[in-house]
Chains A and B, each alone.
Chain A
Amino acid sequence: GESVGLHLPTLSVQEGDNSIINCAYSNSASDYFIWYKQESGKGPQFIIDIRSNMDKRQGQRVTVLLNKTVKHLSLQIAATQPGDSAVYFCAETTSGSARQLTFGSGTQLTVLP
């Protein structure tokens, strides 16, 4: 069946290092992808999105890479800070369809001092 999943459920990085969080999706019709950050006790917060006509998109300290060939996207966080500790979700959907967002189960990022 259709699924959006993450390769690693947990990720620990040293403060100042770069973090890479991965996400695989199975629906070849998916063309819009979003990364969310969820801090403990809070609702998800939009980080960055990307459409399938792009391979890369950059924000402030974050970069999303999309590889449509292998149905994989990643979130890169530069110079990871303690405030980046959270659960990160990817979500995907298909433009122009009634299908709503499908969320992955999340990766817990822990930033070590």
Chain B
Amino acid sequence: EAQVTQNPRYLITVTGKKLTVTCSQNMNHEYMSWYRQDPGLGLRQIYYSMNVEVTDKGDVPEGYKVSRKEKRNFPLILESPSPNQTSLYFCASSLRGYQETQYFGPGTRLLVL
């Protein structure tokens, strides 16, 4: 089944404790992206990747890192999480870019205490 998976689905952590949210797609997509969703603000893009080893900042990259060492994986790294990073995070992928249908993962709900 073609899908985007994220792990973990739920995470509670404390300020400053490094964490990684994994994202994997099995559709051989070149484009992958991370979004955060906050009430009243819609989806905002954090980082995106056009292909392996090619990443770029989205609208809200501060406090996040990403890597794209393999085509299928695009982990989101919070080196020192803060409470304002409490949010619902979505990973998405598409064949070549944002102007094609993006397939979203199920989301990761993060609470930073």
Say whether B105 contacts A93, CB under 8 Å. Answer: no
The interface bits of chain B over 23-45 (1 if a CB of A lies within 8 angstroms of the residue's CB, else 0) are 00000000001010000111111
The interface bits of chain A over 83-112 (1 if a CB of B lies within 8 angstroms of the residue's CB, else 0) are 000000101010100101101111000000
Say whether B43 contacts A93, CB under 8 Å. Answer: no
Asked if A113 CB lies within 8 Å of chain B CBs, one says no
Say whether A106 contacts B42, CB under 8 Å. Answer: yes
Say whether A100 contacts B58, CB under 8 Å. Answer: yes
Q: Could you say which residues of chain A place their CB within 8 Å of the CB of B90?
A: 43-44
Measured as residues with beta carbon below 8 angstroms from the partner, the interface class of chain A is 20 to 34
Q: Provide the main secondary structure of the chain A interface.
A: loop
Say whether A100 contacts B107, CB under 8 Å. Answer: no
CA distance A93 to B41 in the complex (A): 17
Quick check: which of B14-22, B69-77, B94-102 contacts chain A, the rest being far away?
B94-102
The contact of B43 among A41, A44, A45, by CB within 8 Å, is: A44
- Supposing A43-B104, A43-B106, A44-B90 touch, asked if A104 and B99 sit within 8 A by C-beta, the answer is no
Say whether B42 contacts A104, CB under 8 Å. Answer: yes
Say whether A101 contacts B101, CB under 8 Å. Answer: no
Say whether A100 contacts B106, CB under 8 Å. Answer: no
Q: For the complex formed, measure the closest distance between the CB of A12 and the CB atoms of chain B, giving whole angstroms.
A: 20
Say whether A100 contacts B101, CB under 8 Å. Answer: no
Say whether B42 contacts A101, CB under 8 Å. Answer: no
**Sorted from nearest, which 10 A-B pairs have the closest CB atoms?**
A43-B104, A103-B43, A103-B42, A105-B42, A46-B101, A44-B104, A100-B45, A101-B98, A43-B90, A100-B98
Would you list 13 pairs from A and B whose C-beta atoms are within 8 A, ordered by A residue? A41-B107, A42-B106, A43-B92, A43-B104, A46-B103, A49-B101, A93-B98, A93-B99, A100-B45, A100-B58, A101-B45, A103-B35, A103-B44
| A interface residues, Cβ below 8 angstroms from B | 4, 32, 41-46, 49, 89, 91, 93, 95, 98, 100-101, 103-106
| B interface residues, Cβ below 8 angstroms from A | 4, 33, 35, 40-45, 48, 56, 58-59, 90, 92, 98-99, 101-107
